[in-house]
Amino acid sequence: MTVEYISLQPSGDKMPLIGFGCWKIDPNDGAETIYNAIKVGYRLIDSASNYKNEKAIGRGINMAIDEGIVKREDLFVTTKLWSTYHKKEHVRPALEKQLEELGLDYVDMFLVHFPLPLKHVPIEERYPPGWYQNNDEPVITLDRAPMHECWGAMEKLVEAGLTRNIGVSNFNVQLLMDMLTYANIKPSLLQVELHPYLQQEHLVNWVQSQGIAVTAYSSFGPTSFVSTGSKRAKSVEPLFENPTVKDIAAKYNRAPSQVALRWSLERNVAVVPKSLNVDRMKMNLEALNWKMDEEDVQAINQLDMGLRFNDPMVNAQKLPLFY
């Protein structure tokens, strides 16, 4: 049976299983894209300070609300704490700034974007600051901002009503196990890179067994990373050309993209695909409306290569975050 929502702990809020991703949306396209996404039926918007487009995303959300297409409470807005704001005193000002950019009073989910504290860049100096602290020179400067203090400040945002839920992204089991020893509010959600070429089965199973929901990002594997210049993405067989994916798509008269999304949903893992094209937006949303036989899920399970595309080690930062 198709489940359209995941119930989050501890709030009991219902998070849509399919949302709309906002990474790499040009601010000039942002408002119209998000307006279209809501109009075709998306109810979850996956945003972040570091996507450098929150003002435009917020305009799109508010256009849809103002036109009466949705009410604010029908939407589930996710955004993320950027790494330069991990110190406990910077967490609340960061979300307040993001709410101002988005034109919203609260978000539904606030995620720690990476377990990576970067040197603080004051909001008045540069916003959003991006990865590098020094005028965009490709140098990473770490900060002494312990995660337990950052998380304590995240918990206060829930108490203040600025976010309904809090969670993490790009964390591994070790970090989560540690977090569960001190969290007063358990993380509701883990968002990580997941697709047929990077399945992270043990991570997903353990996290779900703890009552923590999982969202896959970059469900189409290399597709999103070709435009970033990733050699890894360019050298691997495109996911949509993979014979197993293509055969399963043909069997159900579906597109390969729908197979990738459906495979994730079969693991009760939420997805946040991104497309500027309205037909593709609809096509991706339709991954909710069918089922894949277990033998096909198993066939896709065989495609795992442990191949990570969003890897700061192979990007300019050369940071071995996942090692």
Nearer to ligand NAD, 110 or 220 (CB): 220
| Of positions 35, 131, 132, 220, contacts ligand NAD by CB under 6 A | 220
Nearer to ligand NAD, 188 or 224 (CB): 224
Nearest of 151, 146, 147, 150 to residue 188 by alpha carbon: 151
* DSSP SS3 for 79: strand
Site for ligand NAD in 25-54 (CB under 6 A): 46
List the catalytic residue out of 51, 85, 132, 197: 51
Quick check: is 51 catalytic?
yes
Angle between the N-to-C axes of helices 278-285 and 256-266, in degrees from 0 to 180, rounded to the nearest 10 = 40
Indicate whether 199 belongs to the interface with ligand NAD (CB under 6 A).
Answer: no
Q: Strand 5-7 to strand 14-16: parallel, antiparallel, or no bridges (unpaired)?
A: antiparallel
Indicate whether 264 belongs to the interface with ligand NAD (CB under 6 A).
Answer: no
Indicate whether 230 belongs to the interface with ligand NAD (CB under 6 A).
Answer: no
Nearer to ligand NAD, 133 or 219 (CB): 219
Q: Which stretch binds ligand NAD (CB under 6 A): 84-92, 173-181, 211-219, 230-238?
A: 211-219
| Of positions 76, 236, 310, 311, contacts ligand NAD by CB under 6 A | 310
Indicate whether 200 belongs to the interface with ligand NAD (CB under 6 A).
Answer: no
Count of residues that interact with ligand NAD, criterion CB under 6 A: 24
Indicate whether 151 belongs to the interface with ligand NAD (CB under 6 A).
Answer: no
Structure tokens at 170: 């790009």
Indicate whether 259 belongs to the interface with ligand NAD (CB under 6 A).
Answer: no
In three-state form (DSSP H/G/I as H, E/B as E, the rest C), the secondary structure along 239-284 is HHHCHHHHHHHHHHCCCHHHHHHHHHHHCCCEECCCCCCHHHHHHH
**What span, in angstroms and rounded, lies between the C-alpha atoms of 134 and 117?**
15
Angle between the N-to-C axes of helices 147-159 and 88-102, in degrees from 0 to 180, rounded to the nearest 10 = 50
> Considering the complex, what minimum distance in angstroms separates the CB of residue 115 from ligand NAD?
11
Report residue 128 CA to chain centroid gap. 18
**b/e burial code for range 120-138 (CB count within 10 A of at least 16 → b):** bbebeeebbbbbbbeeeee
Contact flags string 270-299 toward ligand NAD, x per CB under 6 A:
--xxxx----x--xx---------------
Site for ligand NAD in 90-149 (CB under 6 A): 113
Nearer to ligand NAD, 66 or 196 (CB): 196
Q: Which stretch binds ligand NAD (CB under 6 A): 15-23, 31-39, 90-98, 197-205?
A: 15-23
Nearer to ligand NAD, 133 or 310 (CB): 310
DSSP code of residue 47: -
Nearest of 248, 278, 251 to residue 261 by alpha carbon: 248
**What span, in angstroms and rounded, lies between the C-alpha atoms of 241 and 159?**
47
Q: What angle do CA 50, 52, 54 make, to 5 degrees?
A: 100
| Of positions 6, 15, 21, 150, contacts ligand NAD by CB under 6 A | 21
Phi, psi for 106 (deg, rounded to 5): -155, 160
Q: Which position's Cβ is nearest ligand NAD?
A: 21
Residues that bind ligand NAD (CB under 6 A): 21-23, 46, 113, 169-170, 191, 217-220, 223-224, 255, 257, 272-275, 280, 283-284, 310
Catalytic residues: 51
